[in-house]
Homo-oligomer: A and B are copies of this chain.
């Protein structure tokens, strides 16, 4: 089966599994709390479309990784669901922390229910994610469940470290590139690394293989985020669906911008203006390209991309259909233009 075949088969199973697991918990008089989670997950009855949901990339990665390790897909399902639920918990809290009013084109939880109820709903979803992971006790073994749950929570701690830096960056105008990479390593790459690693854990692989899966996932996650940073400035608006140089407009401190702040005084001067004039965005984008930021970011993305593919080849020298789908998925994620 190709990646497309596997996606067509697995994504609906993941979606059904997520819905059933959230529904399986008793909320009694707090039914509205469950409705908040249902809304956030994109299952509100009146607007139940794929557009109001995430792409469910992480749980797909878990299942492909388990399959690539010759594990049983159904036994790995609790881990796949747990990671998607956990990812969604982090989005609820991130939206509060970033004061984002919209997600997937709809009001965020805190916008609709207020900060207090949204913080609490995030906590509820965090607990549900933990419970999903511990279902591995039944599909695999208590040993594997405890190992996966420990790893999961170490990753959660990494996420909060990344998020701490990201929030701190808002008020910091002297961010070093190494610190930025540390931030995205925690905030984005850690959970993708874990998605790959847990496929090995549930398939009973040795620690060494689990570590190598984790390294593959981390490279994939870093390459993915840096590619995102690239597209945020030089992506084709026709393809990305965002305005040209959208990250410059939004004043997001991404990798090319940090490079520019460090290497190009003219860029720094323009960036530091409190009000932007017509043409400033175009000029900033050109200054970034001229000072080598575009080339630097491309190189960084290429380096991590190469690392991801090398890791995959070493992990699966004789790839089965899942390992081949994993290669295809990595290609798709890293050579995208939107």
Contact = CB atoms under 8 A, between A and B. Distances in A.
Interface residues on A, range: 35 or more
Contact of A32 (B145, B157, B164): B164
A93 interface: yes
A160 interface: yes
A271 B333 CA distance: 60
Contact of A146 (B28, B30, B149, B163): B149
A224 to B, nearest CB: 21
Interface in A94-142: 96-98, 115-117, 119-124, 126-128, 130-131, 134, 137, 141-142
A336 interface: no
A182 interface: yes
Chain A at the B interface: SS class? helix
A276 to B, nearest CB: 25
Given A131-B150, A149-B134, A123 B29 contact: no
B123 A96 contact: no
Interface of A: 25, 27-30, 32-33, 93, 96-98, 115-117, 119-124, 126-128, 130-131, 134, 137, 141-143, 145-147, 149-150, 153-154, 156-157, 159-165, 167-168, 179, 182, 186
